[in-house]
Amino acid sequence: MSDRPPRAAASPAPTAAGPTRQGLEFLGAVAGGLVHEIRNPLSTMNVTLQLLEEEFPEGAADERSARTRRRIRALTREVKRLEEILDDFLRYAGIRRLDLARADLNRVLEEVTAFLLPECTRAGVELSFYPDRDLPIMRLDERLVKQAVLNLMLNAVQAMEPMAPEEGRRPPLQLIVRTRLEGERARIDVIDTGPGIAPALTERIFDVYYSGRKGGSGLGLPTARRIAEEHGGSLRCYSEPGKGSDFVLWLPLEGPAPRPEGAP
Ligand SMILES: Nc1ncnc2c1ncn2[C@@H]1O[C@H](COP(=O)(O)OP(=O)(O)OP(=O)(O)O)[C@@H](O)[C@H]1O
Ligand SMILES: [Mg+2]
């Protein structure tokens, strides 16, 4: 009898065309499990650091206690950062099975735009929504489509915000969300009048962990693209530096094509 661990039966061999869908799902599950395993000791570290900090109260007179306290604080910050990295990863890797149901895409987007309106106002961005009333009821995962569009809208606001919007500025900073029926697909445009994106970057921005923003985790766009692709759709960026960007999300009206029995 071999004492080697059994080979993971669920792990199919990669093909020349790249890993299979099943293979990716398997890797995602393994990585997700690993993330959970790492989170437990991290939260123990967090609690222990808090207890340690209490032993060195603020305003301690001697320099040594003050220094120790600063070091505990620094460690706590790093532990928090690690927790955030894991959370972001789970957010990206966590998308698995779609929960498909009949839904009115315009109503879904009305909810997303209403949710983001206060944030736009705060950032000095004018938000408009132009729904195509000819869109039929579609088959989609409402929560995920909302997440994808929200990621695109947040990026637009974050890109425009530093453009120092003054009161009555002309032209105003604009964020436009629009739907259109294109054959068997719905097309969603998320358009901004922000700084735009250099041609060399319009594909790189979709890479996992690519971020051009301080504090960005670089998962918003790859997550949105994965959501589009899991629906059988796609996401592309059209941009003109100095003018703005248009992120186009296509979703088939009937959702992803059914997978043939036994297919990867
Ligand atoms: N509308 C936009 N205008 C200009 N640049 C953009 C726009 N959308 C995305 N980008 C660029 O693409 C980068 C990647 O975006 P992505 O959403 O993947 O990550 P992030 O916003 O940096 O972090 P996260 O979304 O994970 O918090 C952004 O950091 C930004 O540099
Ligand atoms: Mg983002």
**Distant-in-sequence, close-in-space partners of 217: CB < 8 Å, separation ≥ 6:** 84, 85, 88, 209, 211
In this structure, is residue 259 part of a structural domain?
no
Q: Is residue 50 part of a domain?
A: yes
Q: How far is CA 184 from CA 51, 180, 189, 230, 253, in A?
A: 59, 11, 16, 16, 6
Pair 41, 126 in one domain: no
**Residues near 239 by beta carbon (within 8 Å), at least 6 away in sequence:** 196, 197, 199, 202, 245, 246
Output the pTM of the full model: 0.76
Quick one: 68 and 172 in the same domain? no
- Please report, for the domain that includes residue 210, its CATH number: 3.30.565.10
**pLDDT for the residue 206:** 95
Q: Which domain holds residue 140?
A: 101-252
Cα separation, 209 vs 2, in Å, equals 40
- Position 238 in a domain: yes
In a domain, 190, yes or no: yes
Is residue 13 domain-resident? no
pLDDT value at residue 90: 78
- Residue 230 in any domain: the answer is yes
Atom of ligand 1 nearest to the CA of 245: 1
Which value, to the nearest 10 degrees, does the dihedral of the CA atoms of residues 61, 67, 68, 69 take? 70
Position 6 scores a pLDDT of 39
70-78: Cβ within 8 A, 24+ apart: 75/45, 75/49, 76/46, 76/49, 76/50
Which ligand has the shortest distance to the CA of 198?
Answer: 1
Residues 106, 75, single domain; the answer is: no
Are 51 and 118 part of one and the same domain?
Answer: no
Name the DSSP class of 229. Answer: H
* Residue 2: predicted pLDDT: 40
Assigned domain for 77 exists: yes
29-42 residue pLDDT tens: 777 778 888 988 99
Task: Tell me: do 112 and 233 sit in the same domain.
Answer: yes
pLDDT in tens, 214-242: 889 899 999 999 999 999 999 999 999 99
- Quote the ligand 2 centre to 46 CA distance (angstroms): 27
Q: Is 152 in the pocket of ligand 1 (CB under 6 A)?
A: no
CA pair distance 249, 152, nearest whole angstrom: 10
Instruction: Name the residue with the closest Cα to ligand 1, atom 27.
Output: 216
Residue nearest to atom 8 of ligand 1 (CA): 155
**How many angstroms separate the CA atoms of 102 and 255, rounded?**
10
Ligand 1 atom nearest to CA at 221: 18
pLDDT of residue 259: 63
Ligand nearest to the CA of 219: 1
In order along its 264 residues, the chain shows pLDDT tens digits of: 344 443 444 444 444 556 676 776 677 777 777 888 898 899 999 999 999 999 988 887 788 889 999 999 999 999 999 988 888 787 777 666 688 999 999 999 999 999 999 999 999 999 999 999 999 999 999 989 999 999 999 999 999 998 865 655 567 899 999 999 999 999 999 999 999 999 999 999 999 889 999 889 899 999 999 999 999 999 999 999 999 999 999 999 999 987 655 554
* Ligand 1 and 174: CB distance under 6 A: no
